[in-house]
Amino acid sequence: MATFFGEVLSVCSRAVEEEDEDFVENEEDEEIRRELEKKREVNLLWNPETSQSLASGNKLQCSDFFLAVGHNAASFLSAYVLSSSNWDAVGRASVWNERSRAVAGQSSEESACVFYRHKDIPSVLICRVTCYIAEDQLFQWTEKVFDCVQHRGLNVTVLSDSSVADYKTENYLSSSSAPFLRSLHTAAFSDQPVCQSLEQPNIVTGLPAAVLNHCQVHCIAAVVYQCYSDVIGPDSVTMETYMPVLTKLGKVMQLDQPPTTDVFRKFVRTTDIQSNLYI
């Protein structure tokens, strides 16, 4: 570029500097993005025996996989099934996101996503999930878990908590109607569900939807039992809504007697309830 006095000025130096600055910023953003993606990876941590078997190319020989998503569903399995001493914690899933924080050195019993295996019937696997799994983590959680499990002859049962506010119906839904159970299953599921099917336009979301979709694609028999409740936290009445599923569990394993109220108290946290009456 020439000035009025005929002096020739270089115009490329400033442009190159700006491009270099943008390039450096893009590299930094890319590095931050890679670190964040790595941190948000779902990691499966198995016990030494299971890890050695999986490392050898073997898969978990599983005939029935029971997955509980939510505090009430997880507490139901804990009270009715896992309360006996016939189960071993064989692994856990470590998840980090905006609502869940994976803690380094955390044991399987303390984790919010734990896998249990029956001592006498090792083909029965149970997973309790009480942590939040973000949308971008659903696919990898499902892929990694089912990649460890053999698919032939596999039956998957999912228990899921949901708010009654998410339930859509043409008719008026009174408060006495909740909690209630609805089901949704894959085409490969041939058994009779223990409750009526989920009506349209209601849908299943989150981890239960990801699992159901995976099972549909891979022709695995799977059913989701979704409990709609008007109680946010753990609640004994909501837990008992899953009782019809015990007929399915009873066919697979020997269950103990139904738990007493004292057993339920271990899983229900009572908080201070403030009255909404005017004083």
Two structure tokens written together for 256: 């103990």
**Tens-digit pLDDT profile for residues 33-82:** 788 788 889 999 999 999 999 999 999 999 999 999 999 999 999 988 88
Looking at residue 154, the DSSP 8-state letter turns out to be: -
pLDDT at 29: 78
**Tens-digit pLDDT profile for residues 229-249:** 988 778 888 998 999 998 777
pLDDT at 13: 46
d(CA 162, CA 220): 24
d(CA 27, CA 91): 37
Q: Is pTM, for the whole model, over 0.85?
A: no
d(CA 9, CA 15): 13
Per-domain residue ranges of the chain: 61-98+110-255
Closest CA to 76 of 213, 206, 235, 197: 235
**Virtual CA dihedral for 251, 257, 261, 264, nearest 10 degrees?**
-50
pLDDT at 174: 56
d(CA 269, CA 72): 11
Q: Please state which of the four CATH numbers 3.40.50.10900, 3.40.50.300, 3.40.50.720, 3.90.1720.10 is assigned to the domain occupying 61-98+110-255.
A: 3.40.50.10900
**Tens-digit pLDDT profile for residues 122-178:** 999 999 999 999 999 999 999 999 999 999 999 999 999 999 989 988 775 655 578
Looking at residue 116, the DSSP 8-state letter turns out to be: E
pLDDT at 15: 47
Cα 250 to Cα 32, 53, 81, 113, distances in angstroms: 50, 29, 10, 24
Q: Is the pLDDT of residue 16 over 90?
A: no
